[in-house]
C-alpha cells in the first residue's frame, strides 16, 4: 500500500513483526451445543503483550478477519478469535432450536476466553510469560460488535422497556466496534424484531473507552435507519468517545472480513489499510502501549486532502 496516509500511519504505529498463529485451540464450555474452539495469533517476539479478543460477524469463524487480526498480531498484540455458534460450520439456522440462545452464548464465549486465557496462551509455543493480562481489549464486527458491546457495558432493553442485566467484564478496559448495530424500536424491520431481541441495546451504561468505526454508505437490511444507525454507540454512550467514519464504506468496511470475500460489496484495499492502522493506533493508546499513537493518527487522517474518512471525538 503506497498512499501517503498509510505511510504516515505506519510511521506512527511501526512496521510489522512475524506472527505465530495456532488453531483450533479447544477450551472448556460445559453445556455448549458444540465444542468451543479459538484461534490465537501473536508476534513471534516481544514481551508484555496486550490481548485483543475478537468476535466475528454472523456466520463466520475463527479463520475469518485476517486483514484485522493478523495485522494486530504483527503489531504487538495477542489476538484470540472464537468460533461462535452462528458460524455456518455449525449449521444452526434461524429455525434451529439453538438459535434463540446464540446471542447470549456469544457473550459467554468471550467470557470463557478470558477465564481460560492461560490455557489459550499455553497453546502457542514460546508465548507463556509474554502476555500482559492487565491490558485487554474486546473488538467485533457486525453481530460481533453487538456481542462486544455487552462486555463494554451496553445492556438489552426488553419488550416492556426494562433495562436488562449488566454483562460487562471489568477485565476488558478498551473496545473497538466495527459496524455494530444500533438502537432498536419501530425502525427495526419485522424480521429483526422477531428474531434478534439483542437489537434493543441501551448504551447509557457503556462506560468502557471505545472506538466506533462505521461506513457512511452502510445501509442495513435490519433497520430502516440510514448509515447513522451504526454510530448509535458513539452518539448515546459515555464510553465511546471516538467515531471513525469511512467515506463510501459499506458493511464490510472495504474488506475487513477477508481478502477476496464475496460478501464484500465495497472492496477497497486502501480503506482496509486505514482501518487496520487507525484501529491499531487507538488500541495502542487505549491499552497504554503508546499514549501518543491515537492523537497522531487522528491528526494524520484529518490533514489529508480528500480524506478517506474522518474522526469525531467527544
pLDDT-based confidence at 197, cuts 50/70/90? confident
Predicted confidence (pLDDT) at residue 296 exceeds the cutoff of 70: yes
For the chain, give every domain's residue range.
Answer: 4-313
Predicted confidence (pLDDT) at residue 305 exceeds the cutoff of 80: no
Q: How many CB atoms lie within 10 A of CB 77?
A: 26
Q: From CA 295, how far away is CA 313, in angstroms rounded?
A: 11
Nearest to 275 by CA among 301, 299, 293: 301
What's the CATH architecture for 4-313? 3-Layer(aba) Sandwich (3.40)
Contacts of 172 (CB under 8 A, 6+ apart): 53, 114, 136, 137, 138, 151, 152, 208
Give the pLDDT confidence of 49-107 residue by residue, as tens digits: 999 999 999 999 999 999 999 999 999 999 999 999 999 999 898 888 898 999 999 99
pLDDT-based confidence at 306, cuts 50/70/90? confident
As a whole number, the mean pLDDT across the chain is: 95
pLDDT for res 3: 84
Q: From CA 148, how far away is CA 56, in angstroms rounded?
A: 10
Give the pLDDT confidence of 213-231 residue by residue, as tens digits: 999 999 998 999 999 999 9
Nearest to 76 by CA among 9, 5, 18: 18
Mean pLDDT over residues 171-193, rounded?
94
pLDDT-based confidence at 2, cuts 50/70/90? low
Predicted confidence (pLDDT) at residue 151 exceeds the cutoff of 70: yes
Q: From CA 251, how far away is CA 271, in angstroms rounded?
A: 12
Amino acid at each position: 500500500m503506497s498512499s501517503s496516509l498509510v505511510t504516515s500511519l505506519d510511521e506512527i504505529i511501526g512496521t510489522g513483526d512475524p506472527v505465530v498463529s495456532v488453531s483450533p485451540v479447544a477450551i472448556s464450555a460445559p453445556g455448549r451445543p458444540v465444542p468451543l474452539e479459538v484461534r490465537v495469533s501473536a508476534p513471534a517476539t516481544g514481551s508484555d503483550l496486550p490481548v485483543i479478543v475478537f468476535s466475528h460477524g454472523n456466520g463466520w469463524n475463527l479463520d475469518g478477519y485476517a486483514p484485522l487480526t493478523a495485522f494486530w498480531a504483527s503489531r504487538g498484540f495477542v489476538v484470540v478469535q472464537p468460533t461462535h455458534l452462528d458460524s455456518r460450520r455449525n449449521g444452526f439456522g434461524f429455525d434451529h432450536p439453538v438459535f434463540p440462545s446464540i446471542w447470549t452464548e456469544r457473550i459467554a464465549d468471550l467470557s470463557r476466553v478470558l477465564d481460560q486465557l492461560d490455557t489459550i496462551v499455553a497453546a502457542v509455543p514460546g508465548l507463556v510469560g509474554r502476555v500482559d493480562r492487565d491490558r485487554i481489549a474486546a473488538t467485533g464486527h457486525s453481530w460481533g460488535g453487538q456481542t462486544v458491546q455487552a462486555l463494554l457495558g451496553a445492556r438489552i432493553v426488553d419488550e416492556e422497556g426494562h433495562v436488562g442485566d449488566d454483562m460487562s467484564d471489568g477485565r476488558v478496559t478498551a473496545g473497538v466496534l466495527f459496524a455494530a448495530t444500533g438502537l432498536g424500536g419501530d425502525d427495526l424491520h419485522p424480521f429483526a424484531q422477531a428474531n434478534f431481541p439483542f437489537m434493543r441495546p441501551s448504551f447509557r451504561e457503556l462506560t468502557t473507552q471505545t472506538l466506533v468505526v462505521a461506513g457512511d454508505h452502510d445501509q442495513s437490511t435490519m433497520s430502516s435507519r440510514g448509515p447513522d444507525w451504526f454510530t448509535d454507540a458513539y452518539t448515546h454512550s459515555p464510553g465511546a468517545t471516538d467515531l471513525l467514519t469511512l467515506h463510501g464504506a459499506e458493511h464490510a468496511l472495504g474488506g475487513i472480513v477477508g481478502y477476496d470475500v464475496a460478501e464484500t460489496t465495497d472492496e477497497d484495499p486502501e480503506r482496509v489499510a486505514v482501518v487496520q492502522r487507525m484501529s491499531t493506533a487507538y488500541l495502542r493508546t487505549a491499552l497504554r502501549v503508546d499514549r501518543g499513537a491515537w492523537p497522531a493518527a487522528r491528526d494524520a487522517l484529518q490533514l489529508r486532502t480528500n480524506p478517506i474518512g474522518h474522526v469525531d471525538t467527544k
